[in-house]
Structure 1
Amino acid sequence: MQPTSELVFAQLKSKNSNTRCFDCDTKESDWCSVSHGIFLCLKCAGKHRGFGVHISFVKSVTMDTWQFKHLQMMKAGGNEELHEFFDFYELGNYAPEDKYRTKAAYYYREMIKTVSEGRVLDREKPSIDEGKIIVEEQKRVMPQKVIEKAAEKDPQNIKALIGDAFEYTKDLGRNIKEKVSDVSIADVENKAKEAFSKIESKVDSWNFKEKFNSVKTKTEGVYNKIAAKAKKAMKKITEEQDFDDSKLVEGEDELMLDPQGKNGKK
């Protein structure tokens, strides 16, 4: 029989280091970064969500349903274990947004996932100097076919304008998801429209306007979905608690613009 999440967390919390937030050491640890097997406070959990799920997958100890594989990752990790690992690489003074993007952190996430699955990681641990290197992430871009078709209408400006549109919406989405309780539901759609209006003012080509409006409509639809889910979730949590973006439909948390609607959820 697989252990319940209550039993697993009772065992993990019996270790004093797991009763405090890994990042700020406050006496609260009701959230977890499953990716690192560590306990966090509410505020730091919000920051981890901002890193993206590929860096840190965040769950609540008490409010979320836990899968067996995620409990195994928590058992494979631990606050003290990651502190010792980061100390080895002398990452104590690194800002969280840099620390968790180092090659050392990437190795650690892969290591505890492998251990949690009962396997042995078949690659060498990075050297101290190599482990300190911050991995530069590639920016997500619009689907190439969309850019190519639009560029036929306005080859000089289309790529730059679409790139700007995507950066506006991506940053807005990250801010909204970081703490929905700080943003009124009505503001979600308005802020999206406001961001797009800054770019729309640059548009001179009528043909491009048609393509731009297609992108705009699809993106506003994504924000409406986020707003609806946020409003529903906020009925179940207090004003001090962050919106749990793991409740979003898969794909919505990345806010991928899909003018053709091929990736959208119906």
Structure 2
Amino acid sequence: MWSKILTLMSLLTASHCTQDTVERETKLGRVMGLQLDVLNKRIEQYQGIPYAEPPLGARRFRASIPLTTWNGTYNATSRRTACPQRGYSGISPTGINYTEDCLHLHVWTPHREQNQHVEPVPVLVWIHGGGFTHGTASNPNYNGSILCAKTGFVVVSMNYRLDILGFLDASSVEAPGNMGLMDQTLALEWDSRERQVLRWRSPQSDPIWRKCGGHERSCSYAITAQSIPIPECCLLSGSLYSIDFYDSPQQSLPDGSPCVKDCELL
């Protein structure tokens, strides 16, 4: 048994030994990632690509705004962030920057040479769970490199605002509620825009996976009219209509009042 475990660990370690950089052009600008050899397949990894303006200052509780451009080449080789959240002993991963500037996504895609014609491939979108209170796409357990290598799919995961920062409902423009869900929608719109540039397949081919709190949102994508066509959902837990995930504005405001001036209280 131990020999099998050691063999597997050696395989996973060896599969990531090659790390050359790679640059691609997106609609926001040029982005730099890493080339990885995973399971004898060459893939590209981009970590921490911003898809929205940082939700800071006056934007703290507002709906997210699409990022329009960045200057120069964006370094997406190692940026791992998480949105502020309550600590969960033994669950919160280390080596991650917990910051309000957290609206980033990660991408793993099969490698192609510059100017090489390749057939578009499907995109698998993963939205982490955590009951809308904790979690991050930067969790090492959600690394999509092996899934990309085994399937040949593009794998995309994203952060979204959590807890009070993502779901404070004051029934106003300043805090409309469900900002975390708006973040998810904006990330899906980023994916939809970039697929023509990056040679990904049309949205009609995309499965979308969600776990726990992410499951509730996948239900809503599946049963409501959205500007982004989502043909397939893999629902791993939870329900859109669960009372556990519903807070009225009357509940939300008292919960969020300490955070208005000092989000370190989260």
TM-score > 0.5, shorter chain as reference: no
Q: Which has the higher strand share?
A: 2
Q: What's the TM-score, normalizing by structure 1?
A: 0.23
Q: Which has the higher helix share?
A: 1
Q: What's the TM-score, normalizing by structure 2?
A: 0.23
The answer to which structure, 1 or 2, has the higher relative contact order (CA under 8 A, 6+ apart) is: 2
Work out which of the two has the higher radius of gyration on C-alpha atoms and give 1 or 2. Answer: 1
